[in-house]
Amino acid sequence: MSFDTGLLDLADESPEGLLGFYEDNGWGDGLPLVPPTPERVDAMLAGLGRVDPDEIVATLAPRFGQATRRLVAVNAVLAGCRPEHLPVLVSAVRALGRPELNLRGVNATTHPVAPLLIVHGEVVATGAYNPGLGAFGPGNRANATTGRALRLVLLHVAGAVPGPGDASTQGGPAKYTYCVAENQTATPWESYPASIGVNTPSAVTIHCGEAPHNFHDMESDHPARILDKCASAMASLGQNNAPISQGEYFVALCPEHAATAAAHGWTRRDIASYLFESARLPARTLRAAFDHLAWEPWMHAVGDDASLPLTGSPDNIRVFVCGGAGKHSSVIPSWGMTKSVTLPVEP
């Protein structure tokens, strides 16, 4: 088998022996792993075409490990990816290295933040990602293994190991795998990447946040009543967005909620504006709850009786569609001191 840039000969290649070997060396996420033999790694790299496998894609904090395409491919094999998933994973790793994402802070915080990988465009179909029913859940190889591979890169290359490199107090299940696909077929607007000016056949978005917070509305035929439930989930003192105004919210609308909004002529910007005005708490309540507030200057300037939003701008509220039948949507608060990154899928 191969790992990193070297070759190792193992006396015991049974599944139990391999898992014990990985564990003894501090590798993996605690689940069984596929041995990254040279043949498997080469077959994985073939999914990228004619590119330099040893070129550095990104430097990842906190260890500032250098992620080459080969190392990304090794982790893709370990996670069980197919070669068609590797361009998505390489692009996601590239996004992790962007300074505005603040990966060092993401990994160093005690918050249970995890990078959510959202896959967009043509690669959703060609990679067999699940954008529909159960999109955040189990049962789909592409979603599960690509999200897991991204976490393995964070463990093995970035050094985001619980304790020395990941300070999260309780951790969270999203730190195993956190990957979903945009349901473009059920989206009544342009794709999410196009809505922010990324016009490309396929793209990835990384949003560093919490696990999804469900909100449901089975009855309403007007978007305002649906979004009032979302605003209620957003307006919480327990989220980092409350004291940190640069934090984003990603709102994952189910197809039926999105269709109701579009039927009334509401755009993504209308939804974000409504939530910005509705997801609010009294300034007095927020000031009483926190000694330190990383707010916009105008938020500090208002009186205690003012109603303040849970983020500094409606542009920090991002909307995409995923999921299947059933009127359940979710909101994904940010860790706070991070910005999402959307990039084209490129090898």
For the segment 78-101, what is each residue's pLDDT rounded down to a tens digit?
Answer: 999 999 999 999 999 999 999 999
What is the pLDDT at residue 3?
46
Alpha-carbon span 320 to 298, nearest angstrom: 29
Q: How far is CA 328 from CA 209, 216, 305, in A?
A: 19, 4, 33
Pairing of strands 317-321, 249-253: parallel
What integer is the mean pLDDT of 17-41?
93
What integer is the mean pLDDT of 152-167?
96
Per cent of the chain over pLDDT 70 is: 98
Pairing of strands 307-309, 280-282: antiparallel
Q: Which of 7-21, 38-52, 71-85, 211-225 has the lowest mean pLDDT?
A: 7-21
Local confidence band at 1 (pLDDT 50, 70, 90 cut-offs): very low
Residue 316: pLDDT over 80: yes
Pairing of strands 202-209, 179-181: unpaired
Alpha-helical runs (H) found in the chain: 15-24, 38-45, 69-79, 86-96, 103-108, 122-126, 141-153, 192-195, 223-234, 255-263, 268-278, 283-289, 297-301
- 141-153 and 69-79 are packed helices; what angle lies between their axes, rounded to 10 degrees? 130
pLDDT digits (tens, 9 = 90+) for 111-123: 999 999 999 999 9
Match 């498997």 to its residue by tokens: 40
What is the pLDDT at residue 6?
64
What is the pLDDT at residue 15?
85
What integer is the mean pLDDT of 25-51?
95
pLDDT digits (tens, 9 = 90+) for 249-281: 999 999 999 999 999 999 999 999 999 999 999
Average pLDDT, the chain: 96
Alpha-carbon span 192 to 148, nearest angstrom: 23
What is the pLDDT at residue 13?
76
Is the pTM of the predicted complex or chain greater than 0.75?
yes
What integer is the mean pLDDT of 139-158?
98
Q: Output DSSP code: residue 246.
A: T
Residue 29: pLDDT over 90: yes
Alpha-carbon span 266 to 257, nearest angstrom: 11
What is the SS3 assignment for 298?
Answer: helix
Q: How far is CA 169 from CA 29, 64, 333, in A?
A: 17, 22, 18
* Paired residues of 214 in beta bridges: 330
Query: 239 and 335 in contact (C-beta within 8 Å)?
Result: no
Local confidence band at 40 (pLDDT 50, 70, 90 cut-offs): very high
Alpha-carbon span 237 to 240, nearest angstrom: 8
Which amino acid does the sequence have at 43?
A: A
Alpha-carbon span 338 to 317, nearest angstrom: 13
Return all residues near 112 (Cβ < 8 A) that are at least 6 apart: 168, 169, 170, 171, 172, 174, 175, 210, 211
Query: 321 and 252 in contact (C-beta within 8 Å)?
Result: yes
